[in-house]
Amino acid sequence: MDGLDMFNEDIDKFLDMIEDFGLAQKDYYDEFSKMCLKYSDSSIVPYSLCHELITGEYPCEEYYMPMLMDVYSYYNIGEDFLDLLQRLIDDGYCIEYQRKTHELIKDNIQDGFVIAYRGEYAIEDKGNLDYKQSVSYSLDYEQAKFFATRFNMLPLTKSVVYTVKVPVDDVLAYIDREDEVVCLPICMGGKMEVIKEESFL
């Protein structure tokens, strides 16, 4: 069974769930989480499922943001990820998740800001996203430095750690696995400020 067949099979399960009015929102989240386990971390299907649940307005609004962040943490995401994230922000589905995030990182908040780090590398025309477009930042400097320097055996054209000052209202999520915060990027109106740029070339 290919990815499209598996996607259609999983969506059919959710369509069946809609007919059961006794289900709670968490039941959809639990089923989604269980479905994702059968896919590899390189699969786009979990993102496609999440996208369908959100844009199709399935009755699990409380879990739209947790589902999207689960997918972002472990699987491939689509090119419209930022659009989907913006939709959740505009519709107010980030508010509670953001509140819980701020509680988790409260020790990192000072005077309404969070200091975070982003490691970037490039080899000719290949590399990770520019910090102005990225949502991914680490609370751990060494983690960011690792990302900036992990390919230092190759002819790097860029190897930089950016230290940024992020308004706490722009911190949307926390991912414990890599001590990572998901921030509203500058390209979406984020107000973060680069306070240090360190090159390792």
pLDDT tens, 133-192?
A: 999 999 999 999 999 999 888 899 999 999 999 999 999 999 998 899 999 999 999 999
Spatial distance between the Cα atoms of 13 and 31, rounded to a whole number of angstroms = 9
Please give the C-alpha separations between residue 171 and each of 3, 30, 132, in angstroms, as whole numbers: 33, 25, 15
pTM of the model: 0.92
Q: Which positions ≥6 away from 152 have C-beta within 8 Å?
A: 159, 200
Sequence ranges of the domains in the chain: 3-92, 101-199
User: Count of alpha carbons within 13 Å of 197, Cβ hemisphere only?
Assistant: 9
User: Can you give the pLDDT of all 201 residues of the chain as single tens digits?
Assistant: 677 889 999 999 999 999 999 999 999 999 999 999 999 999 999 999 999 999 999 999 999 999 999 999 999 999 999 999 999 999 999 999 999 999 999 999 999 999 999 999 998 877 778 899 999 999 999 999 999 999 888 899 999 999 999 999 999 999 998 899 999 999 999 999 999 999 999
pLDDT value at residue 63: 98
101-199: CATH architecture: Alpha-Beta Barrel (3.20)
